[in-house]
Amino acid sequence: KWDNGNIMMFRPEKNAERAARGCSRLSMPEIPKNLFLDAAKKVVRDNADYIPNTKQGALYVRPIIFGCGEGVGVAPSTEYMFVVYVSPVGPYFKRGLAPIKLIVTNDYHRAPLKGTGGVKAIGNYVPGMLPSGLAKKQGYAEVIYLDAAEEKYIEEVGAANFFAIIDGKVITPELTGSILPGVTRESILDLAHEKMGMEIEERRISVDEALSADEVFCAGTAAIIAPIGSINYQGKEHIFSDGMVGRITKELYDVLTAIQFGSGKDEFRWMTEI
Task: Say what the pLDDT of residue 223 is.
Answer: 85
Task: State residue 92's pLDDT score.
Answer: 76
CA distance linking residue 145 with residue 249, whole number of Å = 21
- Taking the C-alpha atoms of residue 272 and residue 274, their distance in angstroms, rounded to an integer, is 6
CATH 3.20.10.10 for domain 100-260, yes or no, is yes
Q: What local confidence, expressed as pLDDT, does residue 108 receive?
A: 96
Provide CATH 3.20.10.10 ranges for the chain: 100-260
Q: Of these residues, 1, 41, 101, 120, which one is catalytic? A: 120
- Is 162 strand, coil or helix? strand
Q: What is the pTM for the complete model shown?
A: 0.95
pLDDT single digits (tens) 211-221? 999 999 999 99
Q: Where in the chain is the domain with CATH 3.30.470.10?
A: 8-91
Q: What is the pLDDT of residue 159?
A: 85
User: What is the fold, at CATH topology level, of the domain defined by 8-91?
Assistant: D-amino Acid Aminotransferase; Chain A, domain 1 (3.30.470)
Q: How far is CA 104 from the centre of its chain?
A: 18
Q: Would you state the pLDDT for residue 26?
A: 96
The H-or-E segment that residue 199 falls in is: strand 199-202
Assess whether 120 carries a catalytic annotation.
Answer: yes
Amino acid present at 194:
E
- Single-letter amino acid code for the residue at 269: R
Q: Which residues of the chain have pLDDT under 70?
A: 93
Model pLDDT, residue 80: 97
pLDDT at 50: 97
- Residue 96 is predicted with a pLDDT of 76
